[in-house]
């Protein structure tokens, strides 16, 4: 083993070990045998921890690797995935989360039982579990393995083929992530995320900063000007109709997707459900919104810098270009730290999803249908077993997402559309459409799943962008819900009541910070509008 590899491994182990120690130390007095303690962190999470965990649950290797690869090919138009999240987080902070905490929810499907019926709750919980295991977890594992393999050269170090090296890396990441989720519950996930979040911000910003310093002869601005002058079209944020992300999608399916992801997605919103009070939940969501406006500096700009360095060399393998930039600009002693950051980002999303899946299965399926009077201790054990089984399934499924034609990030978004939009439709109906009945919700749910699969993979010559399909599907779902509900009227007059789970006093900066985030989001598009 050469000295460079020893240095890289040492810095990797120091950071990774430090995160593990901090997490263990923070959890040593936490009761992890109760369902609230294991699944919701004892309802004790603060705004900073919620924001760090939400950010790291969202930003993983499929962003660092996949989205930078996407921007390398397509430029800044992909920024829409990030900055529009801030508006969705504002809506979640003002509207959704106060209602969730008022109801004392552990899972989002619990609301669907209250509003519709038990079968709707079970169907959505089962769909969510399936979607996480077959889409998100495998893509996160595989993209993380690409990053670690590229930085460490695992296959060369072990004397195996590259595919075998990726397999080994997938298994290692999967096992470590499982340990966090299985033995520590949500609080272990959230605390490790907070530290890894700082690592991601520092390490992620180092890449474009060092690259621009090198390009601009120690002047960041000069470096940015050179990158811009080399390919000004890459800085365009307004996608053409035939681009990977047309501008018009911001007003059709994208907003529905963002509302679902940040306001109704169990994996993300579970952090806010574990807040000690409404103030901390709102603070966490809005701080996350601020980060989402800044995060393109880490997951979009480096991809454009890659184009300056490598031109179209990696266009047919875009998911490998970001690690090439990392190796080019980082000093050897920092490569191990950055590999630990990638590992932390992967672990964050992986163990967060495992914890959410365990929560959904334990609360919405096992306790609901199998053992209604199960003890808290037994319920936690069921959650741990569920996490372990699904981790193994995800590890074996990971290599199946290799060689995605439009990149891993684009593949993830296309697959998410199968599940997110139908569920978003019935959740929004549950809140805003009092006439929609349980039968209407179930029919729309099944129609939405079938419609999107058929239009995306069965009828591929329609020429409609998949995000526009989300918008079309949402409108069709609403029409179906109202039509079916006309013949099967709603008989459930459910009203949200305060169960006294936490203090519901609003954070005093919620409105001014919300206005600021929305204004900045619009300003980004106004300032870059003419750059076409």
Tokens, residue 126? 């089962």
Contacts with 317 (C-beta within 8 Å, 6 or more apart), sequence order: none
Residues 451 and 473: their CA atoms lie apart, in Å, by: 7
- Asked if residue 278 is part of any domain, the answer here is yes
In SS3 terms, 343-396 reads as: HHHHHHHHHHHHHHHHHHHHHHHHHHHHCCCCCHHHHHHHHHHHHHHHHHHHHH
Place of tokens 């007095």: 29
- Asked if residue 75 is part of any domain, the answer here is yes
Q: pLDDT value at position 8? A: 72
Residues 137 and 196: their CA atoms lie apart, in Å, by: 19
- Helices 47-58 and 162-215 meet at what angle, rounded to 10? 110
The pLDDT mean for the chain works out to: 84
- Asked if residue 100 is part of any domain, the answer here is yes
Q: What CA–CA distances, in Å, run from 361 to 107, 290, 364, 381, 383?
A: 10, 32, 6, 12, 7
Q: What is the pLDDT of residues 60-100, one digit of tens each?
A: 767 888 889 889 998 899 898 888 999 999 999 999 999 99
Q: What CA–CA distances, in Å, run from 130 to 137, 353, 359, 416?
A: 11, 12, 14, 11
CB crowding 141-150: b at 16 or more within 10 Å, else e: bbbbbbbbbb
- Asked if residue 427 is part of any domain, the answer here is no
Mean pLDDT of 463-474: 89
Contacts with 409 (C-beta within 8 Å, 6 or more apart), sequence order: 62, 63, 66, 67, 69, 70, 78
The residues with which 45 forms a beta bridge, in sequence order, are 275
Handedness of CA 147, 149, 150, 153 (dihedral sign): positive
pTM: 0.84
The residues with which 275 forms a beta bridge, in sequence order, are 45
Q: pLDDT value at position 27? A: 62
Q: pLDDT value at position 227? A: 94
Q: pLDDT value at position 519? A: 95
Q: What is the pLDDT of residues 201-251, one digit of tens each?
A: 888 899 999 999 999 999 999 999 999 999 998 998 888 888 888 888 888
Cβ atoms 499, 271 nearer than 8 A: no
Q: What is the CATH number for 505? A: 1.20.1730.10
**Which has the higher per-residue pLDDT, 531 or 511?**
511
Residues 106 and 502: their CA atoms lie apart, in Å, by: 13
67: Cα within 13 Å, side-chain hemisphere: 25
Lowest average pLDDT, out of 238-247, 349-358, 494-503, goes to 349-358
Tokens, residue 359? 């929560």
Residues 330 and 207: their CA atoms lie apart, in Å, by: 7
Nearest of 72, 77, 70 to residue 529 by alpha carbon: 77
Lowest average pLDDT, out of 13-27, 231-245, 303-317, 358-372, goes to 13-27
Mean pLDDT of 298-310: 93
Q: Model confidence at 313, in pLDDT bands (50, 70, 90)?
A: confident
Task: Give the chain's end-to-end CA distance (angstroms, integer).
Answer: 50
Cβ atoms 321, 146 nearer than 8 A: no
- Helices 266-273 and 278-294 meet at what angle, rounded to 10? 140
Q: Report the domain count for the chain.
A: 1
Report angle CA 262, 250, 410 to the nearest 5 degrees: 70
Predicted confidence (pLDDT) at residue 491 exceeds the cutoff of 90? no
Q: pLDDT value at position 162? A: 81
Lowest average pLDDT, out of 150-164, 285-299, 316-330, goes to 150-164
Place of tokens 């076409």: 532
Contacts with 246 (C-beta within 8 Å, 6 or more apart), sequence order: 239, 240, 465, 467, 468
CB crowding 402-413: b at 16 or more within 10 Å, else e: eebebbbbbbbb
- Asked if residue 422 is part of any domain, the answer here is no
- Asked if residue 11 is part of any domain, the answer here is yes
Helix (H, G, I), strand (E, B) or coil at 117: coil
Nearest of 515, 80, 527 to residue 293 by alpha carbon: 80
Mean pLDDT of 92-113: 91
Among 15-29, 398-412, 438-452, name the most confident range: 438-452
Nearest of 148, 55, 62 to residue 341 by alpha carbon: 148
Residues spanned by the domain of 363: 3-28+45-403+497-529
Q: pLDDT value at position 14? A: 78
Mean pLDDT of 37-44: 60
Q: pLDDT value at position 182? A: 65
- Asked if residue 54 is part of any domain, the answer here is yes
Q: pLDDT value at position 338? A: 80
Q: pLDDT value at position 399? A: 75
Contacts with 404 (C-beta within 8 Å, 6 or more apart), sequence order: 319, 410, 411
Give the single-character DSSP code of 232. G
Lowest average pLDDT, out of 24-28, 113-117, 196-200, 455-459, goes to 24-28
Backbone angles phi, psi at 275, to 5 degrees: -70, 150
Among 43-57, 276-290, 406-420, name the most confident range: 276-290
Q: What is the pLDDT of residues 121-179, one digit of tens each?
A: 999 988 888 888 888 788 878 877 877 787 777 787 778 888 888 888 888 888 877 77
2 class by beta-carbon count within 10 Å (0-12 exposed, 13-18 middle, 19+ buried): exposed
- Asked if residue 146 is part of any domain, the answer here is yes
């Amino acid at each position: 083993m050469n000295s460079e590899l020893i240095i890289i491994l040492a810095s990797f182990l120091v950071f990774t070990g430090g995160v593990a120690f901090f997490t263990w130390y923070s959890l040593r007095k936490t009761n992890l045998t109760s369902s609230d303690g294991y699944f919701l962190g004892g309802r004790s999470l603060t705004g900073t921890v919620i924001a760090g965990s939400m950010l790291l649950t969202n930003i993983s290797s499929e962003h660092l690797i996949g989205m930078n690869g996407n921007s390398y090919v397509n430029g800044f138009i992909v920024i829409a995935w990030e900055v529009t999240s801030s508006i969705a987080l504002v809506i979640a902070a003002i509207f959704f989360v106060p209602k969730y905490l008022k109801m004392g929810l552990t899972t989002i499907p619990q609301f669907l039982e209250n509003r519709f019926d038990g079968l709707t709750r079970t169907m959505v919980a089962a769909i969510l579990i399936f979607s996480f295991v077959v889409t998100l977890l495998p893509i996160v594992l595989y993209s993380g393995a690409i990053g670690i393999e590229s930085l460490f050269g695992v296959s060369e170090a072990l004397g195996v083929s590259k595919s075998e090296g990726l397999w080994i890396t997938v298994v290692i990441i999967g096992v470590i992530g499982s340990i966090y989720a299985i033995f520590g519950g949500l609080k272990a996930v959230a605390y490790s995320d907070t530290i890894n979040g700082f690592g991601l911000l520092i390490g992620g910003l180092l890449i474009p900063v060092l690259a621009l310093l090198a390009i601009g002869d120690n002047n960041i601005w000069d470096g940015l000007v050179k990158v811009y002058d080399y390919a000004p079209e890459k800085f365009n944020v307004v996608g053409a109709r035939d681009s990977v992300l047309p501008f018009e999608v911001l007003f059709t399916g994208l907003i529905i997707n963002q509302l679902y992801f940040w306001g109704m997605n169990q994996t993300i919103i579970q952090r806010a459900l574990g807040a000690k009070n409404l103030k901390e939940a709102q603070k966490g969501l809005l701080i996350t919104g601020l980060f989402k406006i800044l995060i393109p500096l880490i997951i979009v700009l480096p991809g454009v810098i890659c184009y300056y360095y490598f031109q179209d060399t990696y266009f047919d393998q875009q998911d490998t270009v970001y690690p090439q930039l990392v190796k080019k600009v980082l000093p050897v002693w920092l490569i191990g730290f950055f590999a630990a950051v990638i590992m932390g980002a992967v672990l964050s999303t992986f163990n967060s999803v495992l914890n959410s899946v365990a929560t959904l299965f334990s609360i919405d399926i096992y306790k609901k249908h199998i053992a209604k009077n199960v003890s808290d201790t037994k319920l936690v054990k069921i959650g741990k077993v569920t996490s372990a089984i699904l981790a193994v399934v995800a590890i074996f499924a990971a290599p199946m997402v290799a060689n995605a034609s439009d990149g891993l990030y684009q593949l993830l978004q296309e697959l998410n559309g199968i599940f997110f939009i139908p569920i978003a439709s019935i959740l929004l109906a549950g809140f805003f459409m009092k006439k929609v009945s349980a039968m209407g919700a179930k029919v729309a749910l099944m129609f939405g799943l079938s419609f999107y699969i058929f239009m995306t993979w069965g009828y591929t010559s329609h020429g409609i962008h998949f995000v526009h399909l989300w918008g079309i599907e949402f409108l069709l779902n609403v029409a179906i819900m109202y039509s079916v509900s006309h013949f099967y009227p709603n008989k459930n007059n459910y009203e949200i009541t305060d169960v006294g789970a936490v203090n519901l006093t609003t954070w005093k900066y919620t409105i001014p910070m919300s206005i600021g985030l929305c204004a900045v989001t619009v300003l980004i598009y106004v300032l870059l509008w003419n750059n076409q």
